Amino acid sequence: THLIVKITDGAKDCDSKEIKTTEAYLISMKDLTESGLARTGSTFGALVVPFKWHLQGNRDVSASSTLGAYLGYRFETANRIGYTLTPIGFMGASNISVPTTSDGEAKDQNLFGFSWGVGLIGTFKGSFQAGVVLGWDHVSKSAGYQYNGKPWLAFEIGFNFLQ
Chain segment 86-122, per-residue pLDDT in tens: 899 999 999 888 777 777 777 778 889 999 999 999 8
* Span between the terminal Cα atoms of the chain, in Å: 14
pLDDT score of 111: 86
Give me the percent of the chain exceeding a pLDDT of 70: 80
Q: Read off the pLDDT of each residue in 17-25 and give the average, rounded to a whole number.
A: 72
pLDDT score of 163: 52
pLDDT at residue 1 above 90? no
Model pTM?
0.69
Q: Read off the pLDDT of each residue in 138-158 and give the average, rounded to a whole number.
A: 86
pLDDT score of 33: 62
pLDDT at residue 132 above 90? yes
Residue 113, burial from CB neighbour count under 10 angstroms (0-12, 13-18, 19+): buried
What integer best gives the mean pLDDT of the chain? Answer: 80
pLDDT score of 12: 59
- Top pLDDT among 50 and 10 is at 50
How many C-beta atoms surround the C-beta of residue 69 within 10 A?
A: 13
Top mean pLDDT of 29-33, 42-46, 124-128 is at 42-46
Q: Using one digit for the tens of pLDDT, what is the confidence trace for 39-94?
A: 677 888 888 888 899 998 888 888 888 898 999 998 876 666 677 888 999 999 99
